[in-house]
Amino acid sequence: MRITDSAATRGKMRRTLRGWLWLGLPLLLLASPHATAQQEIRFDVLGLFHPRELILQPEGSQVLLVAAQGDAGNPALVLNGEPGHRQIVFRAEGDRVVAGDRSASSWTAAARDNGAVAFRLTVPGKFHRVYCARLAIQARKGQLLAVVAMDRETAVASIVAAEMAESSPMEALKAQAVVTRSFLTAGSRHLNFDFCDTTHCQFLKSPPPLTSRVTSAVQATQRLILAYRGKPLAAMYSSRCGGQTHSLRDVGLRELGNAPGDAYPYYSVRCQWCRRHPATWQSKIGSSGQPPKPGDERRRIAEARQWGWSAIPGSDFTATADGAGWLLEGHSAGHGVGMCQMGAAGMAAAGAGFREILSHYYPNTELITQP
């Protein structure tokens, strides 16, 4: 193990600075403890619902200060759960966000000290989620864009809670925590925020309680990430590899964000658990001309956009002509690149530690500590 270089830290601080500037908060705030605390990560959330309206409520006894951009002369609105201060409804009007009788280009919400606070965000009639973060809301063409900024470890815990059952073996949860932290540390995947909360980036649940086994796994691996040639690895993983994981070349992909040749190639490794527990799926899809091609992840994603995400659950399958379409049969779930989550749980149940699991699925990487 070794400490990472300061360039990575500087990059993170730049990202944090960009985040604060984007939130429209004065530079003066950079002197506050929150601005210099650990890395903050910005997620675009609930975008799948294309919300025109969002309801903001404090969670529990939390107090939120809500401010409109360009509203420096007016006191912030207070949400503290008391009558008249229970919720704010934001509505998109073109590129403006309206709350009550006030309209602004963007709104922010945070704790009194401008730090993270627990709040509930609801898409009326559809969905709600709790975040421990700072919030910024903008609008584009009548749709609200909500970005939550939270510290990295809260993000890691929220993602592990979404990606793995809390009852999974502890060493598998730890391996997932390191993989998730590595992905978040390797760099942004969007321009105006870092990650989205869809399959494109990372699922994100409400943060697990302190007593959760997920929280324990995150705390036990604090600051640990996977690196390749000294750089954080945007570690890929899938749910069930089918018995053998794939290299990027196997599935026609290359690592995002890296120059060709500098990318971690991934390796095809055996997965004992999947070999001992074979599972098959069958699916019927319509014809889009050529037969679906196994082992081509770009093609699978394109087919999934046309036929739905459950139409081709994994990259390994056989395709047989069936009437006007195709009958697909496969053994894997996901792209099969990097850690196999079922395999990791199997290794952990058999006594492997998280380090052993990670070195099995990510050969030639190292574990390093990040500040």
Give me the residues that bind Zn ion (CB under 5 A), please: 196, 200-201, 241, 271, 274, 340, 343
Question: SS3 for 52?
Answer: coil
| Smaller CB separation from Zn ion, 200 or 284 | 200
Q: Min. distance of Cβ 44 from Zn ion in angstroms?
A: 8
What residues contact residue 308 under an 8 Å CB cut-off, 6+ apart?
A: none
- 149/241 with CB nearer Zn ion: 241
Residue 232 or 343 with smaller CB distance to Zn ion: 343
- Smallest gap from Cβ 52 to Zn ion, in A, equals 21
Closest CA to 145 of 201, 197, 70: 197
| Nearer to Zn ion (CB atom), residue 86 or residue 200 | 200
Minimum CB separation of residue 287 from Zn ion in Å reads 30
Nearer to Zn ion, 274 or 285 (CB): 274
**Is residue 220 exposed (0-12), middle (13-18) or buried (19+ Cβ within 10 Å)?**
middle
Q: Burial code of 26-57, b = ≥16 C-beta within 10 A, e = fewer?
A: eeeeeeeebbeeebbbbbbbbbeeebeebbbb
Q: How far is CA 129 from CA 123, 177, 206, in A?
A: 9, 21, 6
Report H helices in 32-169. 33-36, 152-163
Closest separation in Å from C-beta 155 to Zn ion: 14
CB 177 within 8 A of CB 355: no
Least separation in angstroms between residue 153's CB and Zn ion is 20
135: its two tokens: 């919030």
First to last CA, the chain: 13
Residue closer to Zn ion (CB basis): 229 or 277: 277
CA distance linking residue 51 with residue 3, whole number of Å: 43
Specify the amino acid at residue 293: K
Nearer Cβ to Zn ion, position 137 or 357?
A: 357
